[in-house]
């Protein structure tokens, strides 16, 4: 029984009260979805339970597990959000509200295209849905993780959908959801999302690589087993108690390396990888010393992510050595806690509650998400929003310093203008010059990790329109671009409204609709007021 399997999966310390809460949510979800089937033909409740089980595996708190069970009830059944709030309280209803996908696209997007308009492509409508989904998420990171769990199970069952839909959903997963899991540090989920999506986005490459991996699996596993035994023996003789395991090769990561480095399958797959888990940080360095003593390090392959963690708080020592057979052996060394962080990322905060450090890391992990939500309302165009997700959230990063020594995290390729807007919108608007490492530089100078940046400002004034000129490469981040556009919208509002009125009058005359009032037009096009409608037409946000 589905409920029994879910209750058995809950941690042993789960209270009877919480178990009853989960049972009640299951019964409500089962009743609500009773007449519904998945594309596979199985009962819809199976999907709800699968999402909840993924969340349990991540160590999610009970409210998130309950929300996982109920996440489709408001969207797909007769149950209202108010009923969820009445039966389960504000916390769970807010989570369900955040995850609920919109069942209908807006009649008109701010690009001026209706959902029924043939000019509104499927891609545009999908991006608009995605933008609306992220708008609904709010600032609660649990909503994001529930959404990822929902996407993961949908990817596991993607084979039951039409081919065109498979490819669209898989591509969206590769571009948005797998990088989002990576940004949250949930590598376990990232790898699976990537490999599942890879199968549908690049089917031929997937078949070739999957077939080659299957052919060599037995030999590879035997070779890795012997390597792990040897490493554990050498570490033990140096009084380093360690767990040594082979690292799995994920299909999409093999494909990416082949494409990036222009090398054949053998060049990637023949590189073996092992992971060494030790008790504490000092033993990480001891283990590294043992490895480098017995095998020659490959130049340029050592990375110390203990001293300088990645932006998703990943911590490990990485090295590569020439093993006895003359082939490269990649080695990761970390503690068990670091491993939990690497596998579960932000969800490790739920799995291990104790310790101030974890609380601080949790807050640091979601800073970027909170920043994303700060400007999400400013980005009306869905294509801009998805582009911004890729640029500001998933691109490589540059870490630079303020004059006070604070670290600022920016997309790679950012300029002093991006830095200024990151510090404060007002500083961005009044930015007139910059110093990098004490030297005056032009505002289109690209920042690199380690730069100390100082912004020179005027007492008043605003941004230059040149900053929005893509060919000049003055601004990289969507945050800065949005703030600049917003400034010009407000500065030019009267002019835009006047210009929009002229354009609307001309269009109504052309259509023979001179008698139609502006109020009616604004309501028909989903604008809150006539002024908003005219301003959108005047700025070109709404094309007539």
Please pick, among 30, 57, 76, 87, the residue that the annotation labels catalytic: 76
Cβ neighbours of 441 (radius 10 Å): 17
Residue whose tokens read 């604004």: 522
Pick from 99, 88, 31: which is nearest to 63 by CA?
A: 88
DSSP-assigned states of every residue in 4-60: HHHHHHS-TT--HHHHHHHHHHHHHHHHHTTT-B-TTSSBTHHHHHHHHHHHHHHT-
| Residue 452: half-sphere exposure toward Cβ, Cα within 13 Å | 6
Sign of CA dihedral 53, 59, 63, 67: negative
Give yes or no: 76 in active site: yes
Question: H helices of 176-334, where?
Answer: 178-183, 187-201, 203-237, 251-261, 265-269, 281-294
Strand partners, 108: 114
Residue 114 DSSP one-character state: B
Pick from 247, 330, 238: which is nearest to 282 by CA?
A: 238
Pick from 365, 382, 375, 363: which is nearest to 418 by CA?
A: 375
End-to-end CA distance of the chain: 56
Question: H helices of 424-492, where?
Answer: 425-429, 478-491
The phi, psi pair for 49, rounded to 5°, reads: -65, -40
Give yes or no: 75 in active site: yes
Please pick, among 20, 75, 208, 473, the residue that the annotation labels catalytic: 75
Q: How far apart are CA 281 and CA 339, in angstroms?
A: 12
Residue whose tokens read 């920016």: 410
Q: What six digits make up the tokens of 254?
A: 């093999």
Residue 248 DSSP one-character state: P
Q: What six digits make up the tokens of 92?
A: 């769970």
The phi, psi pair for 331, rounded to 5°, reads: -130, 130
Residues identified as active-site: 75-76
């Amino acid at each position: 029984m589905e409920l029994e399997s879910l209750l058995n999966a809950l941690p042993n310390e789960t209270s009877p009260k919480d178990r009853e809460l989960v049972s009640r949510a299951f019964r409500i979800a089962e009743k609500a979805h009773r007449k519904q089937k998945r594309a596979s033909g199985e009962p819809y409740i199976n999907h709800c339970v699968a999402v909840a089980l993924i969340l349990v595996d991540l160590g999610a708190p009970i409210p998130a597990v309950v929300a996982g069970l109920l996440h489709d009830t408001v969207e797909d059944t007769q149950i209202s959000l108010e009923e969820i709030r009445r039966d389960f309280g504000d916390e769970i209803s807010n989570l369900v509200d955040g995850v609920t996908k919109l069942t209908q696209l807006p009649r008109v997007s701010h690009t001026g295209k209706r959902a029924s308009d043939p000019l509104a492509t499927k891609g545009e409508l999908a991006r608009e849905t995605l933008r609306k989904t992220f708008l609904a998420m709010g600032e609660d990171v649990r909503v994001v993780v529930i959404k990822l769990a929902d996407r993961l199970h949908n990817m596991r069952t993607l084979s039951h959908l039409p081919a065109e839909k498979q490819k669209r959903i898989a591509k969206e997963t590769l571009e948005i959801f797998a990088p989002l899991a990576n940004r949250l540090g949930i590598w376990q989920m990232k790898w699976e999302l990537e490999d599942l999506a890879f199968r549908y986005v690049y089917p031929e490459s997937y078949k070739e690589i999957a077939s080659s991996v299957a052919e060599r699996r037995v030999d590879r596993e035997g070779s890795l087993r012997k390597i792990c035994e040897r490493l554990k023996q050498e570490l033990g003789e140096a009084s380093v108690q360690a767990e040594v395991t082979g690292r799995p090769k994920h299909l999409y990561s093999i494909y990416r390396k082949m494409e990036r480095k222009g090398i054949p399958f053998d060049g990637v797959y023949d590189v073996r990888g092992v992971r060494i888990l030790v008790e504490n940080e000092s033993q990480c360095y001891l283990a590294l010393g043992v490895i480098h003593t017995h095998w020659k390090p490959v130049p340029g392959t050592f990375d110390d992510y203990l001293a300088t963690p990645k932006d998703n708080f990943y911590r490990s020592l990485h090295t590569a050595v020439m093993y006895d057979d003359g082939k490269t052996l990649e080695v990761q060394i970390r503690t068990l806690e670091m491993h939990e962080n690497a596998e579960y990322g932000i969800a490790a905060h739920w799995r291990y509650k104790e310790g101030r450090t974890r609380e601080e890391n949790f807050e640091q992990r979601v800073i970027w998400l909170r920043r994303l939500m700060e400007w999400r309302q400013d980005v009306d165009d869905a294509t801009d929003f998805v582009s911004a997700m890729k640029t500001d959230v998933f691109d490589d990063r540059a870490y630079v310093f303020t004059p006070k020594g604070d670290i600022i995290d920016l997309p790679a390729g950012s300029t002093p203008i991006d830095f200024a807007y990151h510090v404060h919108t007002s500083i961005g608007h009044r930015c007139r010059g910059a110093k990098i490492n004490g030297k005056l530089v032009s505002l289109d100078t690209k920042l690199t990790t380690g730069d100390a940046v100082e912004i020179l400002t005027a007492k008043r004034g605003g941004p230059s329109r040149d900053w929005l000129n893509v060919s000049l490469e003055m601004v990289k981040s969507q945050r800065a671009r949005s703030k600049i556009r917003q400034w010009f919208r407000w500065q030019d509002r009267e002019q835009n409204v006047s210009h929009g009125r002229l354009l609307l009058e001309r269009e109504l005359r052309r259509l023979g609709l001179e008698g139609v009032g502006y109020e009616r037009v604004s309501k028909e096009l989903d604008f809150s007021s006539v002024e908003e409608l005219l301003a959108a037409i005047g700025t070109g946000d709404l094309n007539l």
